[in-house]
Amino acid sequence: MQSPADRRPLSPFVQIFRWPITMVASILHRVTAIALYGGAILFVFWLVALAWGPGAYDFAVMLFGSWLGWLVLFAFTWVLMQHIMGGIRHFIWDTAKGLDKPGINHLAWASIVGGIALALVLWVAVLLAL
Amino acid sequence: MRTMLSQVRGLGSAGIGTDSHLIRQRITAYANIPLIVGAILVVVSLIGADYETARQRLSNPLVAALLVALILNVTIHMRLGMQSVIEDYVHHEGLKAASWIANWLYTAGLAVVGILSILIIALGG
């Protein structure tokens, strides 16, 4: 038996709306921040392995050189580039520019396209140089 | 008469120690960009390198200084950012305090272990 309270109309929440690109960019900025917060340990792990000795370093290189390691490193690269682009978006806003409606949409798109482009360019450059 | 506003301005939801949070967050954010670019160059230059080459590269004083600065700057930026995330989502006072302590321990731990490793590489035999 439903009480009258259960039949009240619900207020729409985020999953109801079509996602504006500004919302995507904003959520991406925080999600990438949290991913980098955890992922930073990978860089410190690499430093510890190098400080530890040849055996530890070879083990770390083996992990990062595996297909899963490459996948993680590529994801890490994109996440880092996306967070940097999102940060630059905030730097632009800090100068009180790009805050009008077309401006926020352009900056959101630019940060997402820029993040993907930077990650791809970096990896293509590395793979070509190998 | 002192207004309430003048007493609480700048405290934020943390209630304490947030007076320069945004400024420190931005300064570390600006500094992160050249430091990250430098670190990427160092890491990319070591793809496929053996242990001795990697040790030698990080023994270079400029490279070691860059990486120490990077670790310090990034971990401060991480701690500030995670503090904001905690303030946004953790509302239980006890849990919030525990989250702050965990945030401090994790970021300070990464900084200590990371910098110590660089010093061992740069100064050790």
Q: Is residue A85 part of a domain?
A: yes
Cβ within 8 Å, pair A51-B117 = yes
CB-based contact, A27 to chain B, within 8 Å: no
Q: Is residue A81 part of a domain?
A: yes
**A15 has a pLDDT exceeding 90:** no
Q: Is residue A118 part of a domain?
A: yes
The domain of A123 spans: 19-39+66-129
CATH number of B76's domain: 1.20.1300
Q: Is residue B3 part of a domain?
A: no
Quick one: average pLDDT of A86-114?
A: 96
More confident residue, A2 or B103: B103
A26's enclosing H/E stretch is helix A21-52
pLDDT-based confidence at B1, cuts 50/70/90? low
Residue A17 per-residue DSSP state: S
Q: Is residue A120 part of a domain?
A: yes
CATH number of A80's domain: 1.20.1300.10
Q: Is residue A10 part of a domain?
A: no
SS3 B49: coil
Cβ within 8 Å, pair A40-B74 = yes
Q: What is the largest CA-CA distance in chain B?
A: 69
A40 CB-contact burial (10 Å; exposed 0-12 / middle 13-18 / buried 19+): buried
**B6 has a pLDDT exceeding 70:** no
pLDDT score recorded for residue B8: 66
Residue pairs spanning A and B at CB distance below 8 A: 64
Q: How far apart are CA B29 and CA B24, in angstroms?
A: 8
Residues of chain A neighbouring B124 (CB-CB closer than 8 A): 51
Structure tokens, B88:
């946004």
Q: Is residue B18 part of a domain?
A: no
Quick one: average pLDDT of B26-41?
A: 96
pLDDT score recorded for residue B13: 66
Provide the domain count of chain B: 1
Q: How far apart are CA B8 and CA B11, in angstroms?
A: 6
Q: How far apart are CA A121 and CA B90, in angstroms?
A: 38
Specify whether the CB–CB gap between B12 and B87 falls below 8 A.
yes
Q: Is residue B8 part of a domain?
A: no
Q: Is residue A87 part of a domain?
A: yes
Provide the domain count of chain A: 1
Residues of chain B neighbouring A84 (CB-CB closer than 8 A): 32-33, 36
Specify whether the CB–CB gap between B31 and B73 falls below 8 A.
yes
Q: How far apart are CA A40 and CA A62, in angstroms?
A: 19
Q: Is residue B12 part of a domain?
A: no
CB-based contact, A59 to chain B, within 8 Å: no
**A116 has a pLDDT exceeding 80:** yes
The domain of B106 spans: 23-123
- Give the number of other Cβ atoms within 10 Å of residue B19's Cβ: 12
Residues ≥6 apart with Cβ < 8 Å to A41: B110
Quick one: average pLDDT of B51-60?
A: 96
Q: What is the pLDDT of residues A16-54, one digit of tens each?
A: 778 899 999 999 999 999 999 999 999 999 999 999 999
**Residue A119: closest C-alpha in chain B:** B40
**B17 has a pLDDT exceeding 60:** no
pLDDT-based confidence at A9, cuts 50/70/90? confident
Q: Is residue A89 part of a domain?
A: yes
